[in-house]
Amino acid sequence: MEPQATDPVESETVTPVVASADDPATLIAAAEALTNPPEFAALSMLLGRIALAKLDPLPERQVIARIKSATGIGMSVLTQQLAELRRRMNATGDPHAPIPKPAWFRRLRLDFTGAPERNEANVIVALTSLSPLAYHYQDRAEIEAVVQGTARDIAFDTLTANIGTALATDRTLGGLCDWVEAEAPRPVDLPVVGAASLEAAVIPVFLHYTTADPLA
Give me the long-range contacts of 183-188 (CB less than 8 A, separation at least 24). Answer: 185/145, 185/160, 187/145, 187/156
Name the amino acid, one letter, at 82: L
Q: Which residue has the higher pLDDT, 208 or 7?
A: 208
Mean pLDDT of the chain: 79
- When pLDDT is cut at 50, 70 and 90, the band that residue 117 belongs to is confident
Q: What is the pLDDT at residue 141?
A: 93
For the segment 162-190, the average pLDDT, to the nearest whole number, is 89
pLDDT in tens, 72-97: 888 888 888 888 788 777 766 666 66
- When pLDDT is cut at 50, 70 and 90, the band that residue 186 belongs to is confident
Residue 152 CB partners (closer than 8 Å, separation 6+): 189, 196, 197, 198, 199
Q: Which residue has the higher pLDDT, 180 or 3?
A: 180
Q: What is the pLDDT at residue 107?
A: 76
Q: What is the pLDDT at residue 200?
A: 92
pLDDT over threshold 70, residue 100 = no
